[in-house]
Structure 1
Amino acid sequence: MQQILFFGDSLTAGYGLRNTAAESFPALIGQKITDEKLNYSIINAGLSGDTSAGGLRRIDYWLSQPISIFVLELGINDIIRGIAPQTTLNNLQAIIDKVKAKYPGVKFALMGMQIPAFINATAAKQFGDIYTTLANNNQMALVPFFLDGVAGKPHLNLPDKLHPSAEGYKIIAANVWPVIQKLISNN
């Protein structure tokens, strides 16, 4: 059985959900894999509060077992903490490089993030460009905005207005599944 490693922060971990093993984004993708009887299993390596630097420090642990597909969702906590977009870009590239070095044939999916331009238009553009740059430079499948259709919608988010609810994750999984499905079919 081949493995898909979902590597990210609270958005991957399923922060605040009643049952992360069934309701998180990786779990929902895993259910689609099971429904289609595909020979893949999922690993949820989400860590709430993680940054790109934290991800870089912990990636080696998660590469101790073979993976076929690597799904990267990190960076939003960097911008919240005021980390320069270039630093985030460098850290994410270093994570990608480590994965490529360990598993040269791995397929990648990058979950892009965006921040509203009204916060700081220059920073918003620089931050958003991180994901396009990484995807282009590394020939990665890209989901341009991981929270598309969910961000800013109270009924699809937890009371903190930052983390999706179980219903929100269903929309995210539906948006991301075609990207993962294509990687599986090309593997």
Structure 2
Amino acid sequence: MADLALLVAQLSAQQDLQANRDVLTAEVAPAKTAIAAQPRPLAVAIAPATPSYPSFSLPLLKQLYQTLALAASQTSWADTRTTVAQVNAPFPTQPPELTPPSLQQLLQGISRDRPGQTLPELSPPSRQPTPLQSASQLSRLQALRSPVEALPRFVGPRPHSGNQLYQQRRAALLQGQLYTRLSPDSFHSQWANASEQPVYSQWRQLLAQEASAMAAGQGQNRLTVVVGDSLSLWLPPEWLPTDQFWLNQGISGDTTAGILQRLSAFDQTRPTTIHLMAGINDLKNGATNSEVLSNLQQIVQKLRQTHPQAHIIVHSILPTRLASLPSDRIAALNQQIDTMTAQAGADFLDLQPSFKDEQGILRRELTTDGLHLSPQGYRLWQVALAAL
């Protein structure tokens, strides 16, 4: 238990959320009831590493798992989450009161050795890393079935619509800055009353301009590119690690076919990592699984050709709460994507176990409308990103 307390203390210092601190610094001994009734599996799928990325430090993983397993055998956690409701049930407004830390959070302090170094022009990180030990990247990534802590909430003004976000990013670019390194309320006066909705071609142009600026100013700094649709577009930049640059190439409503046509926008950048999540809009628009799979395969192939130095991670398509998008179809397609990425030399991050409920659909507290993510959903995704 002393080892677990040390790990939790390190995580608490890193999360920078008071709600998480309240949970993680609490005494665990009094909770004695829930774990026997609702055991939580502790498992990570580890497959042989790719030639470019050595395998994870297995002794370190074993130490973490053994410590957490020992604690789980001696401790129970109160879980006050409400019973899973039907698809059309109202979304919850209150967060769970107490939930245990997850292995993803414990692994958040482990960083992978990457090329490049931080230069003086980078602003100081808001969350100082406290790595347990330097380790290499896990080759095949499997998200854990784990609860989310207290519901995070956005504080202060920030864009809430596509036209507001577009105007904020445009204003930042005109000032020679990138919005991912600014506070959420930056240039508030220039976007607060934005009313004109930008069209797809305007978003493509803006993203291409941001990529060009990044290519010119990246220097030797590490760069992570996020490619996708609205789920990627609204990823809160203030929750991302600040020891590197982030380039968001997400466009609301985009499909795998659309993404395939605009990859050249960031050809001149030198990313260390590229995250790709796409396909849900294809399914909404009536595309077949084979069409989605073919487009994703072409995207991965093109990314590998253009950015051979980059670590490419394809994220699973998230489940939804929409009856028109059955979870079994999404799960079957994700299995095909997993196989494809292995053959293409990329990695697959399976987020399904963390995001789905007992019925296999998107957990209520993780979504705002059954499809898009809530702040809590983005926090869970951020935990997975930070653990890579």
Q: TM-score, normalised by structure 2?
A: 0.38
Provide the residue aligned with 1:176 in structure 2.
Answer: 385
Q: CA deviation at 1:44?
A: 0.7
Matched, 1:69 2:273: yes
Q: How many residues align?
A: 161
1:148 aligns with 2:354: yes
Deviates further, 47-56 or 165-174: 165-174
1:163 equivalent among 348, 372, 381 = 372
- 1:137 pairs with 2:343: yes
Q: Secondary structure at the match of 2:355?
A: coil
Unaligned runs of 5+ in 1: 15-23, 180-187
Aligned to 2:326: 119
Contact 1:3 1:43 in 2 (8 A): yes
1: CA distance, partners of 2:386 / 2:293: 25
Contact map agreement 1:113 1:131 (CA 8 A) in 2 = no
**CA RMSD between the two structures:** 2.5
1:61 shift after superposition:
1.0
The equivalent of 1:83 in structure 2 is 287
Q: Which has the higher helix share?
A: 1
Q: Which residue identity does 1:143 align to in structure 2? A: L
Over residues 158-180 of structure 1, what are the superposed CA-to-partner deviations in whole Å (9 max), with x where a residue is unaligned?
1x22111122211111133223x
Give the unaligned 5+ runs of structure 2: 1-220
Distance 2:309 2:382 in 1: 25
Query: Identity across aligned pairs (percent)?
Result: 24
Within the alignment, does 1:95 sit opposite 2:299 as a pair?
yes
Higher relative contact order (CA 8 A, sep 6+): 1
Asked if residue 13 in structure 1 is aligned to residue 233 in structure 2, the reply is: yes
Residue 46 of structure 1 corresponds to which residue in structure 2?
Answer: 250
Deviation string 1:118-170 (CA, Å, 9 cap, x unpaired) is: 9384x445422232122211232321126833763333321x22111122211
Provide the TM-score with structure 1 as the length reference.
Answer: 0.75
Structure 1 pair 27–47 and aligned structure 2 pair: CA distance change class (3 A): farther
Alignment partners' CA distance in 2, 1:109 and 1:48: 20
The answer to whether the 8 A contact 1:110-1:135 is kept is yes
Q: What secondary structure, in the 3-state scheme, does the structure 2 residue paired with 1:148 have?
A: helix
